Structure formats: C-alpha cells, structure tokens
Chain A
Amino acid sequence: MAAPLSSASPALGAAQGRPARRRAAGPLLPLAGLLLAALLWALATALMARNTPIAAQFSPQRAFPALAGLLVDPYLWEHVGLSLQRVAVGLACALAIGVPAGILTGISAHFAQASGPLFQFLRMISPLSWMPIAVMALGVGDAPVYFLLAFAAVWPILLNTAAGVAQLDRNWLLLARSLSATRGETILRVVLPGITAHILTGVRLAIGIIWIILVPAEMLGVSAGLGYFILDARDRLAYPDLMAAILLIGFLGYLLDHAARWLHRRWLHRA
C-alpha cells in the first residue's frame, strides 16, 4: 500500500542537495527508482493474489488505468479542489496565528518563557486527537478540518518565525532605530522581510504536515475531499480507484512540496 510513498522518497533524495557532478545522470536514476518500485509493487500483488485473489485489484496494472480514467473525471477534481482549498485555508490560519505569535516569542523574552513549555506540550499532541472535541465544538463540516490542519501547521511556522526573529541582524534594528522608525515601520520594513526566509521554511514544513493530516481528517465527518474519496472507493469496492487516489495523493504532495521549495529558493535568490 505504501508503494507510491516509498518509491517517491529515494527519488526526492536523489534530486536535492547533490553536487552538480552527481546530477549528470539527469532524471534517469530517479525514474529507474520509480520503475523498480512499481515492479516490486506488481510482484507483491501478484504473489499475494495467489492466495487472496482480491489482491490483484490493488496491482499497478489496475491502478494506473483507473488513475487515467479518474483524471478525466470532473468528479475527482471536485474532491481534489476541495482538499486543496482546505490546505490553503488551514495554512492561511496557521500563518495568521503562527507569524504574530512567533514574532512575539522572538521579541519578548517574557512571552517566550511563559509560552515555551505550553507550546512544546501542545506541539507533541497529535492533532487528530482533537478531532472528537473539534467536531463537538465546531460541528460537522469543514470547520473542524480547518481547525485540525491549522493546529498541526502552526508549530513549524511559529517556531521558525521565532528563530528568524532571534537571528535578525541587530544592526538592522539599530539602523531602523537610527531612522526613528515607528514600530510599524520596523516590523513591516525590517522584521518581516528579515524573517521571510525562515517563515517560508516553516511554510514548507507546514505544508508537509497539513498534507499528511488532511487525509485522515477528511475521513471523519465530511463528505468530500481526497480522504473521503478513499473511504468512498473502499465502500464502493472500487479498489483500483482507491490505489489511484493514493498515487494521486503522493503526486500532489510532491508538487506542493516542490512549489514551497521553489518559493523559498526564489526569495533566497533575491536575498
């Protein structure tokens, strides 16, 4: 079942952070890795199908055609659209809370000391454990999903923002003071741009976490989205569709991570 993920991670590892000389093989090695994983996946399902014939339904030979069929089906894109919208809303909420809280943590030693243990404590609670309470408090629907995603994503943003503030060049702040900058000017013109690279690192981590939390969160109390789609495929006994959805989740997550990394790189190129 985890085949798409495990085949994707070696490819990720090969694509990033290697010196140029090692990249000479181009996309060949990553592709070979993906292909090998697909072969192992086919082999595993074929072996299992000997004893449990239903396993054949989970094979790549069935999954890829199902995926091709789904990709042209507007029904799937509705689910994808909803899921991406939830990612966006969850991320926006996490930014709206995490950046100000991170700045406060970074500039106020008192706030940092008072909130430190609390944040570390909350951070270690799996966001999904809040699900029953979230549904009771916020009702069935999108609200508890937003809450869970934001709650999961706020920590990397908050902690990276605070680290960014702590690492701000003190001379930049001295410069702002020498220009009699108002508090607003200091924050908007020096602090925020000065910590943007850190915030974007937080965003990238947050997107990864949101994408992982999203699917289980959508399995509870909502009637659309990729998580719902997986449960629905199971209930319809449409196992090739189920595997296709898993492949799609992996692929979209890969794209999201790339987008976040591209954004980070773009900012660093300027900076």
Chain B
Amino acid sequence: MTPAASQPRTLETAASASAETVLAGDSLSFAYADGSPVFSEVSLAIRRREIVCLLGGSGCGKSTLLRTLAGLERPAAGQVAFLGQPCSAPHPRSALVFQQASLLPWLNVADNVRFGLDFRHQPRIAAEARERRVAEAITAVGLAGRERAWPAELSGGQAQRVALARALAREPELLFADEPFSALDAITRAEMQALLVELVHRWHAAVLLVTHDIDEAILVADRILLMGSRPSRIHREWTVDIPHPREADAAAVTALRLSILGALRESTTGA
C-alpha cells in the first residue's frame, strides 16, 4: 500500500551469477519431514564483501533458509552454489555464528577460537599461521589478555565476541549469522553490530545476517531481503547505500524504515 521509498530490484538480477558472487541459491524449496513447506522457489545471491540481511518475523523460515544455504540442510528442490561450485555440504570457506555463542565450556577462549582449524576437511595451515590467526581474531574482538579465560567467566557479550573470533579465525569468504545479537542487551547489541561491520570489512568477508530486528538490518546491511510467510519467499529487496555510521543520517534511516514497515504491512495483509 505504501509506495516503496528505495529501489526494489527484481530477484532475477540479484540471483544472476557473476564472478563477484560468493553464494547463490537457486529456486530453493524446503519442507520438514512432517511435509508442510517452509519456503519455496527462493533465489538469492550474495556478492563478495557484501552484508546481506535476511529480515522477517519469527517462524517465517529464516533460520531454515540460512541452514540450507550453509549446506546444513538439504533443499527439497533447487541448488546452492558457493564460489560458482555446486555445494551440498558446509563449505570450508564459510563460517557460522548462532544466537547463542555455543562456546565449548571445556575449552578456554583461545582453544575455542582455535577449535576446528585442525579438522581433517579444513584447509591445511601451518601451526604458526594458525596461532597468528587465533591471536589476531581475539585481538580484533577486543579480548586480548583473556585467552586463558573459561567461557563460564565471560559475559554474554564477551562470549558472543569469542564466537565471532572463532568464525573470523577461519578467514571465511562468507559468514552465516543467525540472529547473533538478539540474546544481548540493547547497549551490547549496538556495540556488537558496529564491531561486526568493522570486522567483516577488515576481513573482506561477506555476511548473511538473519534478523527479525528492522533497526539491526538498517544499521548493518548493504542489502536487505524481506522474507514473508504464507508463502515464505523473498518479498522485497532494498539496497542500502547510507554511509556508516548510519545513525548519523536520521532522515535516510527513517525513510528506509518506513519503506520496510510499509512492505511488511503489505506482505501480511495482502497474502
């Protein structure tokens, strides 16, 4: 009902493969064992170093779509390509951050960040390079000096920083993040959002960030995909080219937000 304020693109152009594309999902459909479809015919593409936010209400299938794109769920139809290669298992150049930090409580901070770097299906790296990566990632998230701390001694925000460092230490081409900050208090969340933007730029990583928080999407994303339910697919798309820090441009932020709210209303009443 409300006219779009930003430029909605057609999904076809977004999904068209190019050398700059890290991840492409093509006509993905998914249903859980009980048979009811979660989403169908979803196509999207993520370019190098791009932060894409998948925005939608609870239960609309964002997490399922993220897990499918990450190779953790097998789609009923369609396929996923990572760096141009068809891909049906987690790619070594991708990393995951969840809503819970999910640190391994029997490992200290450094060992948690190091976790998995030596796994068989991970790229071989020399021991010194590995240690350098671990140290860099811990420093980058602001936890230098806490390498020997146990997860139980960390606050929720610090634990999520370790989870971010664990993902960065793998030097991912693409970071999958499923509501990584929604369990944090508002102040810590704002800090972490800024940190995420800074670090993925520094690490030259692309991000697929799942969120139900419109403000988070506006503050963080280069591109916002709005996912609606019944039927779950990507309803609208916005390219956000407000420079960081975005809080500075209140007018542009407000305009985008009204546009998203309008589209949300449309997608729920117009279904």
Contacts and interface: CB of A to CB of B under 8 A. Distances in A.
Interface of A: 169, 171-172, 174-182, 185, 189-190, 193-194, 196, 267, 270-271
Contact of A174 (B98, B105, B121): B98
Interface in B165-202: none
Contacts of B119: 179-182, 185
Contacts, number: 58
B76 interface: no
Given A171-B98, A171-B100, A270-B150, A181 B105 contact: no
Contacts of A194: 104, 106
Contact of B116 (A171, A175, A270, A271): A175
Contact of B89 (A180, A193, A267, A271): A180
26 contacts: A171-B98, A171-B100, A172-B104, A174-B96, A174-B102, A175-B96, A175-B116, A176-B116, A177-B72, A178-B70, A178-B95, A179-B90, A179-B115, A179-B116, A180-B89, A180-B90, A180-B92, A180-B119, A180-B121, A181-B116, A181-B121, A182-B119, A189-B115, A193-B104, A267-B106, A271-B150
A179 to B, nearest CB: 4
B232 to A, nearest CB: 21
Nearest to A171: B102
A271 B102 contact: no
A164 to B, nearest CB: 13
Contacts of A271: 105-106, 150, 152
Given A175-B96, A178-B72, A270-B150, A169 B90 contact: no
Nearest to B91: A180
A190 B122 CA distance: 16
Contacts of B121: 179-182
Nearest to A174: B72
Given A174-B102, A175-B102, A196-B106, 15 more contacts: A175-B116, A178-B90, A179-B119, A180-B89, A180-B92, A181-B121, A185-B119, A189-B115, A193-B104, A194-B104, A270-B106, A270-B150, A271-B105, A271-B106, A271-B152
A180 B119 CA distance: 8
A180 B106 contact: no
Interface of B: 70, 72, 89-90, 92, 94-96, 98, 100, 102, 104-106, 115-116, 119-122, 150, 152
A185 B102 contact: no
Nearest to A186: B119
Q: Give the interface SS of chain B, mostly helix, strand, loop or mixed.
A: loop
Given A177-B90, A180-B119, A182-B119, A190 B96 contact: no
B80 to A, nearest CB: 14
Contacts of A193: 104, 106
A177 B119 CA distance: 11
A182 B70 CA distance: 17
A131 B196 CA distance: 65
Given A171-B100, A174-B98, A271-B152, A179 B106 contact: no
Nearest to B92: A180
Nearest to B152: A271
A172 B102 contact: yes
A270 B108 CA distance: 8
Nearest to B117: A179
Nearest to B104: A172
A174 B72 CA distance: 8
A7 to B, nearest CB: 38
A191 to B, nearest CB: 11
B106 A178 contact: no
Contacts of B150: 270-271
A196 B104 CA distance: 12
B104 A190 contact: yes
A185 B90 contact: no
A85 to B, nearest CB: 30
A178 B93 CA distance: 10
Contact of B96 (A178, A182, A196, A267): A178
Given A174-B72, A174-B96, A179 B104 contact: no
Most chain-A CB neighbours within 10 Å: which of B94, B100, B116? B116
A169 B106 contact: no
Contacts of B89: 180
Nearest to B121: A180
Contacts of A181: 116, 119, 121
Contacts of B102: 169, 171-172, 174-175
Contacts of B122: 179-180
A185 B106 contact: no
A181 B120 CA distance: 7
A182 B95 CA distance: 17
Contacts of B92: 180
A189 B119 CA distance: 10
Contact of B120 (A169, A172, A182, A190): A182
A267 B119 CA distance: 24
A28 to B, nearest CB: 33
